[in-house]
Amino acid sequence: MSRMHQAWAEALQRGEQRRHRMAQRLPSWRTRPRRRALVALWLPVPLALIVLTLTLDWDNPVTSLVYLAVLAVWYPFWLVLRVLTTASAEAIVALLDEREVEVRNRLSFVSLSVLSTANLLIVFYLIFNHDDPLIAIRTAYLLIACILLAASVPTALLAWRMPDDDPEDLENPDRPADRAGNDEGGISA
């Protein structure tokens, strides 16, 4: 095995271990109502960033600090949502199985749509406000807000859709099954 292949295999193993650890974190938060509550709390943050960018006076040096403060609120929300979704919406394909890849692809499409629409709106904003002397700085911050929104949409959507974690999914595979299913029939799809 070449050094590159070995390094890749090690990186994948580390990634799998990281996801496994993530799946064990915040067990009491891994329920649908809590995930949804967190998404509902997260959503106003990127929207606030967009509104602030469009309304604040960018000549004032405090403005950037206000923007950074809101940005600082966005980051922990996104981190917790990533933990609660085991980063399935953002992990590389090699770390996911076929179901997760299917879900990730659907979410990525939504993210791409959000980003494309936001970019188009920003282009129109630039065209209609080309004589604004602060348009460059305002658009730069607007782009950051839109990129952050699009980047976190897959994780937020997944968190919204995910059902409660099933404790049986978190059982240690190295331990023999301690509960035998008693359904005799097949499972309806």
When asked if residue 164 is in the footprint of another protein (CB under 8 A), the reply is no
How far apart CA 53 and CA 63 sit, in angstroms, is: 9
How far apart CA 82 and CA 85 sit, in angstroms, is: 5
Yes or no: say if 32 and 162 are a contact pair by the CB < 8 Å rule: yes
Phi, psi for 180 (deg, rounded to 5): -90, 130
Stretch that binds another protein, among 35-43, 61-69, 146-154, 170-178 (CB under 8 A): 170-178
When asked if residue 14 is in the footprint of another protein (CB under 8 A), the reply is no
Stretch that binds another protein, among 26-34, 56-64, 141-149, 171-179 (CB under 8 A): 171-179
Q: Which amino acid is at 177?
A: A
Identify which of residues 1 and 177 has a Cβ nearer to another protein in the complex: 177
How far apart CA 149 and CA 50 sit, in angstroms, is: 9
When asked if residue 175 is in the footprint of another protein (CB under 8 A), the reply is yes
Q: Which amino acid is at 151?
A: A
Rule CB under 8 A: which of 93-122 touch another protein? 96-100, 102
Which residues lie near another protein (CB under 8 A)?
96-100, 102, 166, 168-173, 175-178, 180-189
